[in-house]
């Protein structure tokens, strides 16, 4: 089954004390590129989280955001330790009284004391880390559903275009047998105009003309092109990592189309090959978004 490389997923899990929220965004990329933004308390779990993502996504540029909340406070947010603040102010007042100072307590006196501020960094136990894993799994599952839905639409369009190419190849094959015989006769007529009496050269001339006409034979190329079309459809339905395979097949189909076009002496065949190459180019644009 084809899957798109673009998608979005969001997951959350937790309890009254701790909750985890994960967002995953994915766009096109030649390889798997993961940008993982974690709170500091999860920095030692980065490898484990990356391996989980790799087990579910093969290609694409992923931006993964993990946020932890404890109660009403998100991890990384700074809060005031109100008890320490009250104690610190009381201490300053007592110092002023003992030293008989009249200076007022200023804001900078309080801000300079870092102990008054708390950063909600959670110390994770393995039981609590399960919430993060569940949230990430849920986000990835949503992402994959979206990627599959877009992949179905891509597959539908690709099958349509492969069908168009197949029809054009059939037209080319039908035209080829007639054009080859026509080409042979045209060559023969031209020779007659150049040589008044071709009787002495008759057998040899027939052989040479047949060889020249045979160079315009495109049956082999048409057979290979049809084979690529079949393999392309098989890769859409059953292939693992089909994006790489069908990208290679597009190159091979384009190669055969170019060869047919260059060998053919029929303008109809040439025009059909132009249409075939247009469809191949449209396919190549579409498959850039396939995982």
Sign of CA dihedral 264, 268, 274, 277: negative
- With 80 as the cut, is the pLDDT of residue 149 above it? yes
pLDDT band at 250 (very low <50, low <70, confident <90, very high): very high
pLDDT tens string 195-246 = 655 555 566 556 655 555 555 678 888 899 999 999 999 888 876 668 778 8
Tell me, what's the pLDDT at 200?
56
What confidence score (pLDDT) does residue 118 get?
46
Rounded to the nearest integer, the mean pLDDT of the chain is 81
The pLDDT of residue 267: 80
- Percent of the chain topping pLDDT 70: 75
What is the model's pLDDT at position 124?
61
Report pTM.
0.65
In whole angstroms, what is the distance from residue 76 CA to residue 39 CA?
A: 7
Residue 5 near residue 59, CB atoms below 8 Å:
yes
Question: Is pLDDT of 181 > 90?
Answer: no
73 pLDDT higher than 50: no
Compute the distance between CA of residue 109 and CA of residue 57 in angstroms, rounded to an integer.
52
Mean pLDDT for 112-138 is 72
Domain ranges, ordered by start, for the chain: 7-75+124-148, 78-119, 150-287
Average pLDDT (43-59) is 92
Q: What share of the chain in percent tops pLDDT 90? A: 38
Are the C-beta atoms of 287 and 158 separated by less than 8 Å? yes
Please state, as a whole number, how many other Cβ atoms lie within 10 Å of the Cβ of residue 224: 16
Helix, strand and coil in the chain, % to nearest 5 = 65, 15, 20
Among residues 98, 92, 96, which one has the least CA distance to residue 110?
92
pLDDT value at position 157?
93
> How do residues 79-114 score in pLDDT, each as one tens digit?
666 777 777 788 778 887 787 777 777 777 666 665
The answer to whether residue 74 scores a pLDDT higher than 70 is no
Q: Which CATH class is domain 7-75+124-148?
A: alpha beta
Phi, psi of 4 (to 5 degrees): -70, 160
CA distance 169 to 164: 9
User: How many Å apart are CA 53 and CA 139, to the nearest integer?
Assistant: 10
Q: Answer yes or no: is pLDDT of 7 > 80.
A: yes
């Amino acid at each position: 089954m084809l899957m798109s490389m673009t998608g979005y997923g969001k997951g959350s899990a937790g309890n009254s004390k701790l909750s985890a929220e994960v967002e995953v965004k994915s766009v096109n990329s030649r390889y798997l590129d993961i940008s993982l933004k974690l709170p500091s308390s999860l920095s030692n779990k980065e490898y484990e989280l990356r391996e989980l993502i790799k087990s579910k996504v093969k290609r694409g540029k992923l931006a993964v955001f993990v946020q932890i909340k404890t109660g009403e406070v998100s991890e990384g947010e700074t809060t005031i330790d109100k008890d320490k603040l009250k104690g610190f102010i009381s201490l300053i007042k007592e110092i002023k009284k003992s030293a008989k100072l009249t200076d007022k307590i200023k804001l900078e006196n309080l801000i300079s004391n870092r102990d008054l501020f708390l950063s909600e960094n959670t110390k994770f136990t393995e039981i609590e880390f399960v919430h993060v894993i569940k949230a990430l799994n849920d986000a990835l599952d949503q992402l994959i559903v979206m990627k599959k839905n877009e992949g179905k639409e891509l597959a539908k369009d690709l099958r349509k275009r492969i069908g168009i190419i197949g029809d054009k190849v059939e037209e080319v094959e039908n035209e080829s047998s007639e054009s080859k015989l026509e080409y042979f006769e045209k060559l023969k007529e031209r020779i007659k105009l150049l040589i008044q009496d071709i009787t002495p050269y008759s057998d040899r001339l027939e052989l040479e003309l047949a060889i020249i006409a045979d160079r315009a034979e495109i049956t082999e190329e048409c057979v290979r092109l049809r084979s690529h079309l079949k393999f392309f459809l098989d890769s859409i339905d059953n292939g693992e990592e089909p994006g790489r395979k069908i990208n290679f097949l597009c190159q091979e189909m384009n190669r055969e189309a170019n060869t047919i076009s260059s060998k053919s002496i029929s303008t109809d065949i040439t025009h059909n090959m132009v249409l075939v190459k247009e469809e191949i180019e449209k396919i190549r644009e579409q498959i850039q978004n396939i995982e």
